[in-house]
Chain A
Amino acid sequence: MSIDRWQQAVTALRSYWTALERDWQSVAVGVATVALTTVFGVQIPW
């Protein structure tokens, strides 16, 4: 993927994120964390 495409993707993601209500942002962070642990098998230490 060219740098321009990356920049477009990042810009689109950022505007989508900014448009989200804070509660939905919390849900998105939760979903991302669950995806990290279940799909990618990331272990989060304590």
Chain B
Amino acid sequence: MAVYRLLPGLLVLCLGAILARAIELTAGFNHLLVAIALGFVLANGLGIPSRLEPGLATHKLWLGAGIVLMGASLTLNTILEAGAVVLFVVVLVTGLTIALVELLSRNVFGLADRLGSLLAAGAGICGVSAVVAVAGAIRAREGQIAYAAATVLLFDAATIVVYPIVGDLLGLSDVVFGIWAGVSMFSTGPVVAVGFARSELAGQWATMTKLARNALIGVVVLGYASYYARTGEGARPSVRTLWDEFPKFVLGFLALVVLASAGVFSPAQRASIENAYSWLFVLAFVGLGTEIRLAGLRNTGLLPVIVVLLSLLVGSTLSLLLLALLF
């Protein structure tokens, strides 16, 4: 794609990021939440001209780059300290969520098998990305993909508002709040946003937990591909799927964690890198806000929403109880 086509949207992301930071400095509102709100108002109030769309669509690139850079402010010790416990909670809650959504959608609410599987992947792993990845493996219909993606986006929008409120009401510590958001919310962007909106520590734990969850995507896609291939209706599964679906920016994140642990960065360099990822996150969240379209959210069906809501309530409560016991 020609670079000049990206420039108008990129300029809007940059202006939104600067405005969000200025509002934080003058009015005290959190810059990440302001960034999402600015994107939301732009998309749903003013409308987005088509020439802005290519540039705005780059927001996931900036989110990934921000996560990579976040690795420089962590050390291996921090990760290993609670890594096994977090991994245990991630695998347990992810498995339970997928099983629960499948059970409810097939046996209780009578949704189509593939729609149930898309909802399960979206709720269990990483939102719309998981929906799209599993859709390819099980050859879901376009209508089902759109339905499942809209349901996930609806919950992304709702949880951005609800999680911080519940976290404050329950008086959760930053670490528990971060892991809880990372293990039970759906898409990576909203997880990072609510984490860092609470505190730096909560944001780091939310992101690390979510990355562990995202890393399971390959296994889930492979599992679904194998299941649907038995009926001759899915794509042919292969071990290569594990690599194809693996979020590669996690490797960049881990590389920086190793470098930071080895003491490669001076305090001043670390501060600069932290500032860089703060800017990248604000850019990304202006773009994330533009993806929350009220018109699209109205297209979700009631039954998929009920199925996902029930699984979210169970997964969220269970993970919170587990974390209260473990931390």
Which residues in A have some Cβ–Cβ distance to B below 8 Å?
Answer: 14, 18, 21-27, 29-31, 33-34, 37-38, 42-46
B interface residues, how many (CB within 8 angstroms) = 31
Complex A-B: 18 CB contacts under 8 Å? A14-B3, A18-B1, A23-B248, A25-B64, A26-B67, A27-B64, A29-B64, A29-B68, A30-B65, A30-B249, A30-B256, A37-B273, A37-B276, A38-B269, A42-B272, A44-B272, A44-B275, A46-B21
A16 → chain B, closest Cβ, in Å? 14
Chain B interface, DSSP helix/strand/loop, else mixed: helix
B61/A27 in contact, CB under 8 A? no
A45/B275 in contact, CB under 8 A? yes
Having A26-B249, A27-B64, one finds 16 other A-B pairs with CB under 8 Å, namely A21-B248, A22-B64, A26-B61, A26-B64, A26-B65, A26-B67, A26-B68, A27-B65, A29-B65, A33-B273, A34-B273, A37-B269, A38-B269, A43-B272, A46-B274, A46-B279
Nearest 7 A/B pairs, CB to CB: A26-B64, A30-B68, A27-B252, A23-B248, A29-B65, A46-B275, A37-B272
A46/B1 in contact, CB under 8 A? no
A33 to B62, CA, bound (A): 12
A33/B276 in contact, CB under 8 A? yes
**A44-B279, A46-B279 known; A22+B69 contact, CB < 8 A:** no
A27/B248 in contact, CB under 8 A? yes
Q: What residues on B are CB-neighbors of A23 within 8 Å?
A: 64, 247-249
Q: What residues on B are CB-neighbors of A44 within 8 Å?
A: 272-273, 275-276, 279
